[in-house]
């Protein structure tokens, strides 16, 4: 049965080539009727065991439940979010985000994500550089879910149901942005709730390509609607290790060629209608290391609502 999703398919043929990163396969993807399931190796399982706990497992601030515990300082955020309100009922969210390759080492990671949450249930999609998860320093697509005490990346455990035959869930972005190029490579991502059965879908690019879904049954709080949405960057570094770069690895200069950004924010209400994203707040853990800027009306048309984010962290080696 096809999902009942509010977003209708659009024609993406008008998008400029340098505004959408090339996708994984050079030969068209998998044979008809199959999907690109990664074979889980012993090394994958070892890396998964070495993954740090999700950021919301180390939170303590009751007023802002997504802020990492100040005492641990292992996660650092630079985000824009819709103010938390128990009366919020969101049926989806989306963004276009620029793709970068910040330099990380050891167990560090650096990511850009769209995050949809209610209570202890969380969905995330975006890109990340994460040697612990992937065994390399490539910029890769990722999905992550947290349902109570269970959490998992990609398809390393049961939860996310992959349906796309063309897009591996951990694909490498072959094109990443660089300073001085005059533009940025980007990808468009959505998390939308199926109006018929409550499953949550990951949709990719402007064509709303259906990559896969999280079944409604694995959740408690997200069996209904979300009440919190975030856009922006997150980094991780073990205790005592310098904080890695985020986004484009520099402090903000105010342009889309050099700053990492999330743009074209979209939010769906409980009926599946697109609503304006006007009331947003920003949060950054340490403005000496990272910055975030929220501009609801940056430019008409293509950019619309934009959040710039990023910074060098404590790293002395920047990926330029």
- Does residue 142 have a pLDDT over 90? yes
Percent of the chain with pLDDT over 70: 79
pTM of this structure: 0.85
- Does residue 233 have a pLDDT over 70? yes
Distances (CA, A) of 290 to 79, 243, 294: 10, 10, 14
pLDDT in tens, 149-206: 888 898 888 899 999 888 889 999 999 999 988 889 999 999 999 999 999 999 999 9
pLDDT of residue 70: 38
Give the alpha-carbon dihedral of 163, 168, 174, 175, to 10 degrees. Answer: 40
Q: Which two structure tokens, joined as six digits, stand for 212?
A: 């896969």
- Does residue 5 have a pLDDT over 70? yes
Indicate the domain borders of the chain: 17-310
Could you identify the residue written with the tokens 């040697």? Answer: 131
pLDDT in tens, 246-276: 999 999 999 999 999 999 999 999 999 998 8
pLDDT of residue 1: 58
pLDDT in tens, 12-66: 333 333 434 444 334 444 554 555 555 667 776 666 677 787 776 433 344 444 4
- The CATH architecture of the domain made up of 17-310 is Sandwich (2.60)
- Does residue 299 have a pLDDT over 70? yes
pLDDT of residue 157: 81
Measured between alpha carbons, how far is 151 from 59 in angstroms, rounded to an integer? 16
At 117 the three-state DSSP class reads strand
Outline where the chain has alpha helix (H).
Answer: 42-49, 131-134
Measured between alpha carbons, how far is 293 from 302 in angstroms, rounded to an integer? 18
Q: Which residues contact 33 (CB under 8 A, 6 or more apart)?
A: 165
pLDDT in tens, 124-141: 999 999 999 999 999 999
- Does residue 311 have a pLDDT over 60? yes
At 17 the three-state DSSP class reads helix
pLDDT of residue 161: 94
Beta bridge partner(s), residue 117: 122, 228
- Does residue 75 have a pLDDT over 90? yes
**Residue 72 C-beta-side C-alpha neighbours within 13 Å:** 19
């Amino acid at each position: 049965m096809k999902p009942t999703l509010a977003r209708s398919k659009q024609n993406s043929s008008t998008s400029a080539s340098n505004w959408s990163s090339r996708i994984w396969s050079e030969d068209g993807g998998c044979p008809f009727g199959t999907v690109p399931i990664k074979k889980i190796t012993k090394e994958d399982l070892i890396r998964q065991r070495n993954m740090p706990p999700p950021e919301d497992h180390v939170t303590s601030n009751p007023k802002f439940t997504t802020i990492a515990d100040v005492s641990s300082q292992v996660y650092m955020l630079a985000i824009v979010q819709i103010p938390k309100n128990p009366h919020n009922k969101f049926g989806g969210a989306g963004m276009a985000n620029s793709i970068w390759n910040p330099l990380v080492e050891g167990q560090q990671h650096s990511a850009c994500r769209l995050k949809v949450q209610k209570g202890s249930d969380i969905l995330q999609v975006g890109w990340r550089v994460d040697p612990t998860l992937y065994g390399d320093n490539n910029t890769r697509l990722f999905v992550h879910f947290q349902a109570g005490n269970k959490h998992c990346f990609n398809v390393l455990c049961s939860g996310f149901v992959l349906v796309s035959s063309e897009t591996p869930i951990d694909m490498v972005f072959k094109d990443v942005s660089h300073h001085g190029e005059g533009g940025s490579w980007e990808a468009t991502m959505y998390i939308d709730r199926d109006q018929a059965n409550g499953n949550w879908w990951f949709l990719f690019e402007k064509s709303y390509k259906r990559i896969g879904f999280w079944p409604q049954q694995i959740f408690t709080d997200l069996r209904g609607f979300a009440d919190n949405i975030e856009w922006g960057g997150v980094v991780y570094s073990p205790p005592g290790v310098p904080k890695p770069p985020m986004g484009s690895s520099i402090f903000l200069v105010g342009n889309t060629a050099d700053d990492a950004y999330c743009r074209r924010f979209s939010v769906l209400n409980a009926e599946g209608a697109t609503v304006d994203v006007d009331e947003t707040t920003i949060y950054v853990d340490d403005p000496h290391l990272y910055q975030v800027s929220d501009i609801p009306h940056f430019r008409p048309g293509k950019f619309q609502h934009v959040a710039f984010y990023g910074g060098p962290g404590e790293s002395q080696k920047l990926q330029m």
